[in-house]
Amino acid sequence: MTTIDFTHEIPVIEGKPAASSIDEMVSAPLNQKPGKVWKILFTITVTMLTVGSVALGLTFYYGIGLWGNNQPVGWGFDIVNFVFWVGIGHAGTLISAILFLLRQKWRTGIARFAEAMTIFAVMCAGLFPAIHTGRAWLDGYLFPYPNANHIWVNFISPLLWDVFAVSTYFTVSLIFWYIGLIPDLATLRDRATTKWKKISYSIFSLGWRHSARHWQHYEKAYVILAGFATPLVLSVHTIVSFDFAVSVIPGWHTTIFPPYFVAGAVFSGFAMVQNVLIFVRQAFKLQHIITLNTLEKMNQVMILTGSIVGYAYATEFFTAWYSGNQFEMFTFINRALGPYAWAYWTMISCNVIFPQLFWFKKIRRSILFMFIIGVFVNVGMWFERFVIIVTSLSRDYLPSSWHMYVPTVYDLAILMMSFGLFFTLTLLFVRTLPVVSIAEVKAHVDGAQPVHKGVH
């Protein structure tokens, strides 16, 4: 048995690297020519994106009749994917804002990357409501502006709240991310070797001078933004869940949706971030910045949120029975035993059962196992949204209008496209911007802060 030294916090960054070596390491991928693996991955993701875009183009031309949506299943893959991607985004904000406010230093190495993934995920998410309107070129009307028709949007509709929540979320995440990037861009500017790099980094770093007078306001701004991002991220998935909870469809009309959705969002987002980070730290040799301890902490968050989600599933069942409402009871029995039972049990096993393996420290610290479980969690959380949306809609009140939902090849292609978009952006990101916050990591290396000898 190894003894653990409780008198010292485990250092967030392993091995006390010198500040200049951090610069070296983080900016290395930006200066090298892309390697073979990167090129192959990029080809794959761009192909996914292109094929999906063709399907999307056909959808624009022929209309959403190409999809599997029908009467009564008016929401199919479009909304499933929307909720899934918004959820993925939540991990980034949780890591960058909530863990920042809670002074969880282990977030340092992964915050930048997680924030970038938030932005990409929200872009993927925003795509779906935009295209599911059918005529995406009219989406300008989603925003309240004094238009020639003298009509306003309906401010008390959850669907409009969504418009505000998602666009605010995207904007604030982007600002937060950019603010974090400014000092790093300045560092890159001062290291730039070619003229173009120098010019572009100069422009985007806005002329940052690492001045202590600026750092003072900067740090304040960071706390403020984190303070706003925290309730914001909770509000976003809450509002997404209102899309369902405010309606009267059995299985949707429940008050536990907001917390249940938020927990699920964090759950799936952490799984996604963990999966991608495993590759990134390997590819860019960042093992001592994105440490195994960090990954283990992420897995611990996943047990927590996964258990909350499992508890919510149980609560739903209990409430359905306890309500004595015939339709509610039917809906839940139908979920578990009806025609979509396979989806339900995929969800249960991926979300509730497999993550429990993380109770074992060996599994929690094994890269292979955590990767596989992370993939399972993402599959499971995608199916959760599928189960909620499709089972409730396909069999609601009136048996004569029941109808099964079967996705078409266009649905699948557009889902693939969103993954293509996400990973293409991620791949571009790792080659153009520092994947780790240089300034923050420097500030968290052992010995980076004054030791305050004597009086304070």
Partner 1 sequence: MENKKIYTVTALFDTPDEITDAAKATAGAGYTKFDINTPYPVHGMEKAMKLKPSYLGYVTLFFGLSGAAFAMLFMSWVSIYNYPLVIGGKPFFSWPAFVPITFEVTVLSAAIGTVGVLIALMFRFPNTAHPLHDTNYMKKVSADKFGLNITSLDPLFDENKIKEFFKGLGGKEIETIYEEDKKAEIKVFDYRFIMTLVLVAIVTAGTTYFVLNKLLYMQPFTWMGEQDKVIAQSESNFYNDGFSMRLPVEGTVARGYLPYEYKGAPDSVIKFISNPLPFTKDIIEKGKMRFDTYCSPCHGYFGQSDSRLHDQFPKPPTLHSDKVRNWPDGNIYNVITNGQNVMPSYEKQISREDRWAIIHYVRVLQRSLNAKDSDIDTSQVKREK
Query: Which amino acid makes up residue 300?
Result: Q
Distance CA(290)–CA(277), nearest Å, equals: 8
With CB under 8 A as the contact rule, the residue among 14, 130, 190, 288 that binds partner 1 is 190
Element containing residue 6 per DSSP (H, E): none
Note whether 325 binds partner 1 by CB under 8 A.
Answer: no
Asked if omega into 11 is within 30° of 0 (cis), the reply is: no
Local structure of residue 94 (DSSP, 8 states):
I
240-269: which residues touch partner 1 (CB under 8 A)?
242
Distance CA(83)–CA(75), nearest Å, equals: 11
Distance CA(108)–CA(121), nearest Å, equals: 21
Cβ closest to partner 1, residue 6 vs residue 61: 61
# residues contacting partner 1 (CB under 8 A)? 75
Stretch near partner 1 under the rule CB under 8 A, chosen from 90-98, 115-123, 206-214, 249-257: 206-214
Q: Rounded to the nearest whole angstrom, what is the least distance from the CB of residue 115 to partner 1 in the complex?
A: 14
Sequence-separated (6 or more) residues with CB below 8 Å from residue 52 = 413, 414, 415, 416, 417, 418, 420, 421
Nearest 10 degrees: Cα torsion 256, 258, 264, 265: 180
125-154: which residues touch partner 1 (CB under 8 A)?
135, 137-138, 140-141, 144-145, 147-148, 150-152, 154
Distance CA(283)–CA(292), nearest Å, equals: 15
Note whether 221 binds partner 1 by CB under 8 A.
Answer: yes
With CB under 8 A as the contact rule, the residue among 4, 156, 368, 398 that binds partner 1 is 156
Cβ closest to partner 1, residue 171 vs residue 323: 171
Q: Rounded to the nearest whole angstrom, what is the least distance from the CB of residue 138 to partner 1 in the complex?
A: 7
Sequence-separated (6 or more) residues with CB below 8 Å from residue 289 = 13, 14, 22, 25, 109, 281, 436, 441
Note whether 186 binds partner 1 by CB under 8 A.
Answer: yes
Binding mask 333-352 for partner 1 (x = CB under 8 A): --------------------
* Distances from the Cα of 402 to the Cα of 20, 24, 258, 327, 455, angstroms: 65, 61, 27, 13, 75
Tokens of 297: 């902490």
The three-class DSSP label of residue 49 is: helix
With CB under 8 A as the contact rule, the residue among 31, 133, 168, 319 that binds partner 1 is 168
Note whether 218 binds partner 1 by CB under 8 A.
Answer: yes
With CB under 8 A as the contact rule, the residue among 44, 123, 142, 443 that binds partner 1 is 443
Q: Rounded to the nearest whole angstrom, what is the least distance from the CB of residue 230 to partner 1 in the complex?
A: 10
Note whether 450 binds partner 1 by CB under 8 A.
Answer: yes
Note whether 440 binds partner 1 by CB under 8 A.
Answer: yes
Task: Identify the sign of the CA torsion 264, 269, 271, 272.
Answer: positive
* Distances from the Cα of 77 to the Cα of 74, 409, 416, angstroms: 10, 11, 11
Q: Rounded to the nearest whole angstrom, what is the least distance from the CB of residue 297 to partner 1 in the complex?
A: 22
Note whether 161 binds partner 1 by CB under 8 A.
Answer: yes
Cβ closest to partner 1, residue 40 vs residue 199: 199
Cβ closest to partner 1, residue 14 vs residue 190: 190
43-62: which residues touch partner 1 (CB under 8 A)?
60-61
Distance CA(221)–CA(229), nearest Å, equals: 12
Q: Rounded to the nearest whole angstrom, what is the least distance from the CB of residue 249 to partner 1 in the complex?
A: 16
Tokens of 205: 């770093």
Stretch near partner 1 under the rule CB under 8 A, chosen from 113-121, 164-172, 344-352, 353-361: 164-172
Stretch near partner 1 under the rule CB under 8 A, chosen from 13-21, 313-321, 333-341, 342-350: 13-21
417 φ, ψ (degrees, to nearest 5): -60, -40
With CB under 8 A as the contact rule, the residue among 40, 54, 102, 206 that binds partner 1 is 206
Q: Rounded to the nearest whole angstrom, what is the least distance from the CB of residue 305 to partner 1 in the complex?
A: 23
Distance CA(271)–CA(95), nearest Å, equals: 13
Tokens of 150: 């003298």
288 φ, ψ (degrees, to nearest 5): -90, -5
Stretch near partner 1 under the rule CB under 8 A, chosen from 184-192, 265-273, 367-375, 416-424: 184-192
Tokens of 93: 């904000």
Q: Rounded to the nearest whole angstrom, what is the least distance from the CB of residue 149 to partner 1 in the complex?
A: 10
59-88: which residues touch partner 1 (CB under 8 A)?
60-61, 63
Note whether 398 binds partner 1 by CB under 8 A.
Answer: no
Note whether 42 binds partner 1 by CB under 8 A.
Answer: no
Note whether 187 binds partner 1 by CB under 8 A.
Answer: yes
Q: Rounded to the nearest whole angstrom, what is the least distance from the CB of residue 24 to partner 1 in the complex?
A: 9
Q: Rounded to the nearest whole angstrom, what is the least distance from the CB of residue 341 to partner 1 in the complex?
A: 35
Answer whether 111's CB lies under 8 Å from 82's CB. no
